Amino acid sequence: GMRRESSFAFGNDSAVDLGGRPALESQKSFGISALSVEDEEGEGEDGAGDPRAWVNTISAFEMPRLGYEVEGKHFVAAKSKASMFPSPSEKIAVFRDRYNIIHQRLLRSEAFQVPSFSVRAPALTRSDTTTAQQFYKLTPIANLLGRGGTQHLLLGMLGVAPTGGLAFHDLSGSISLDLQHAQPMQGQDSAYFCPGMIVLIEGQYEEDWAGAGSSGLGNTGGVGGTIGGRFLGFSIGGPPVERRNVSLGVDLKAGDPGGGFGWTDFLGLGSDRAVGERMRRLEKRLLDPASPSCVGEGRRKMVVLGEVTLDQSATLAALRKVLQFYDSADAEPPMSFVLTGNFSSRAAMANAGTGSVEYKELFDSLAAILSDFPRLLRSSTWTFIPGDNDPWASSFSAGASALIPREGIPDFFTNRIRRAFAAAKAEVSLGSKKESVDGEAVWTSNPARVSLFGPAHEVVVFRDDLASRFRRTTIRVGEATKTRTDTTVEIEVDMPDAAAATIEGAGSQDAAMSDTQPSAPTDPPSLIAAKKLILSLLPQSTLSPFPMAIRPTHWSYTSALSLYPLPHTLVLVDAESEPFALTFEGCHVLNPGRLVTGSGKRKVVKWGEYDCWTRRGVIQEDFVG
């Protein structure tokens, strides 16, 4: 019979009764792994009544290394050993896996489903692909040869050719690209299009009729898989986003084709099919306000502080202001605090005036502030995520784009912080209330994942100035159409999946926007920029849709940058963007922005507050100074 080991495997600590079935070979990619789920009677014991007992911070280097297998249509564990010097084949696999994940996701979209029968009478007349066609069909680049003058829809990666022009790549080949007449599918200026991004382009293939006697300048036909001619794009857009439940194949509506990845353990804490339902019941019991054993509203909060530059006195005063806000005696302390770098405004150990001794003194100052709030240290989980100015990466990059994912801050600099936590725990013997779960400081990687109740709630935390990098590398499209001011360009491409996608604001007045239309003229510029950032990032299913030369990544750990399936929440700390809290296709994106803004004596402090039950965040602000 067929071997099932490649599809399902359960670890030795599985709580699932297999009924005498022989044990299968354990694989970290599938089934139940590190999450121990007890019976209903034991869920309230040993600190499990505190939701913080179910908070797990997962480093990018601890996540399962998974790759998508096209033949089996499932994820498999990487066979090669992770290394800082991997083989060149792993660099090729970075693009191949990204393309295959988006391609399989795209084929499940309603717009690409081929109908089993057609109600239209067959005819030999040629029809327009963008108006009369009821479904979309992708054409590999290699299949364009010999089909000059015909229109096609391509899926591939934008790139720059050796001659300096635009190129388009997929797994079958490459072609020269012309986007002078292209228009975005989601509306004018609705998303960024940069080299390294995987996009959909509809247009017409024009063959190259240059003979043997021509100069051939700039003609790379046949070299490196590049076919002759060029592709003239009429419309360009990101692939439709797939909701998390559709990717996992759980809680589907009638007729929805699910991805069927519910048995895949993406975090190393158990798959959604194996332990997800049990963990969702536990989450409801501890966090739902209607439950009798629910914790207080303050206990459901996760506080996110961005760009905590400890070498500035205004930042230390703002941090103290925030901690005083949550140290009220009549309110429960938050479940977790997340502090993100850069912890130094200048690159540490890069001849910028901040050496190892000066950098360690920054955390000594932080420890002095935290020691004044022992209740918060005992009752909350504190997660520290580095930025590009933090060591050791800053000593090589001098604050430029460092290699991601990157390790956390070394223990050498954080001894005083750990001592502050130990001192706070020691005060329990003096009459303070003993917490069921001790507070802890977690120094993790960038990016990192915070799991609440296993696979039932996934939060991705990433510190990067993505918006500015998108602006620096974006490609200008439709330049030829912008010069014709006397005519209006209408876009006829309309994908059902894209039309249903909305972005919702997290304020009291929720703003909804269809991603096939531009933002409303009444939207403030900061909201328009936030929507543009979200519509550019989430369809790429990765945190870094850039070439290696612009944002280098570890070839062996690129699966840790994946946004597939979509997490429940993405905490994107972008210090150069205005704070926002928006929801797109079920994924809530929270950016707390910079902790301290403004000038003069009276500065503004802003931070993000995330409710772990409603899975929505708000931006809090106050004055300091």
3-state secondary structure 90-125: HHHHHHHHHHHHHHHHHHCCHHHCCCCCCCCCCCCC
Q: How are beta strands 603-611 and 616-624 bridged, if at all? A: antiparallel
The rounded mean pLDDT for the chain is: 82
pLDDT score of 15: 41
Of the chain, the percentage scoring pLDDT greater than 90 comes to 59
Assess whether pLDDT exceeds 50 at residue 164.
yes
Q: Are 155 and 211 in contact (CB under 8 A)?
A: no
Most confident of 182-186, 381-385, 510-514: 381-385
Per-residue pLDDT tens for 286-295?
999 999 989 9
Contact partners, residue 193, CB within 8 Å, separation at least 6: 158, 184, 199, 236, 474, 475, 477, 536
Cβ count within 10 A of residue 133: 12
- What is the pLDDT confidence band of residue 7, given thresholds at 50, 70 and 90? very low
Per-residue tokens: 293: 């054993």
Quickly state the pLDDT bin for 619 (edges 50, 70, 90).
very high
Q: Does the pLDDT value for residue 546 go beyond 80?
A: yes
- Give the mean model confidence (pLDDT) for residues 567-592: 96
CA–CA gap between residue 295 and residue 311 (Å, rounded)? 37
- What is the rounded distance in angstroms from the CA atom of residue 362 to the CA atom of residue 339? 14
pLDDT digits (tens, 9 = 90+) for 116-153: 665 554 444 444 444 445 678 999 999 998 899 999 99
Assign 12 a pLDDT band (cuts: 50, 70, 90): very low
DSSP at 420: H
The dihedral sign for the CA sequence 455, 60, 71, 23: negative
pLDDT of 433-453, one tens digit each? Answer: 566 678 899 999 999 999 999
115 vs 131, more confident = 115
List the structure tokens of 556. Answer: 């062996």
Is the per-residue pLDDT at 223 higher than 70?
no
Mode of pairing for the β-strands spanning 616-624 and 448-452: unpaired
537 CB-near residues (< 8 Å, 6+ apart): 466, 543, 545, 563, 572
Torsion on CA atoms 553, 556, 560, 562, rounded to nearest 10: 70
Count other C-beta atoms under 10 Å from residue 277's C-beta. 13
**β-pairing verdict for 603-611 and 596-597:** antiparallel
Q: Report the candidate in 150, 262, 266, 161 with the shortest Cα–Cα distance to residue 205.
A: 150
Q: Which of 42-51, 425-434, 547-556 tops mean pLDDT?
A: 547-556
Tell me the per-residue pLDDT of 462-479, one tens digit each, with 9 for 90 and over.
999 999 999 999 999 888
- DSSP E strand stretches across 120-267: 151-160, 166-170, 173-178, 183-184, 198-206, 226-237
How much is the pLDDT for 352? 66
For helices 415-426 and 356-370, the axis angle rounded to 10 degrees is 20
pLDDT above 70 (res 431) = no
pLDDT above 80: residue 184: yes
Q: What is the mean pLDDT of residues 585-612?
A: 93
Helix/strand/coil for 286? helix
pLDDT of residue 49: 77
Check whether 608 has a pLDDT greater than 80.
Answer: yes
Percent of the chain's residues with pLDDT above 70:
78
Contacts of 73 (CB under 8 A, 6+ apart): 104, 260
Q: How many CB atoms lie within 10 A of CB 476?
A: 9
Average pLDDT rounded to a whole number, residues 499-515: 47
pLDDT over threshold 70, residue 1: no
By mean pLDDT, which of 7-11, 198-202, 344-348 is the weakest?
Answer: 7-11
Residues 343-356: b if buried by 16+ CB within 10 A, e if exposed: bbebbbbbeeebee
Q: Which of 103-117, 213-227, 537-551 has the lowest mean pLDDT?
A: 213-227
Q: What does the alpha-carbon distance between residue 578 and residue 598 come to, in Å, rounded to a whole number?
A: 12
What is the model's pLDDT at position 386?
95
Distance CA 605, CA 319 (A): 9
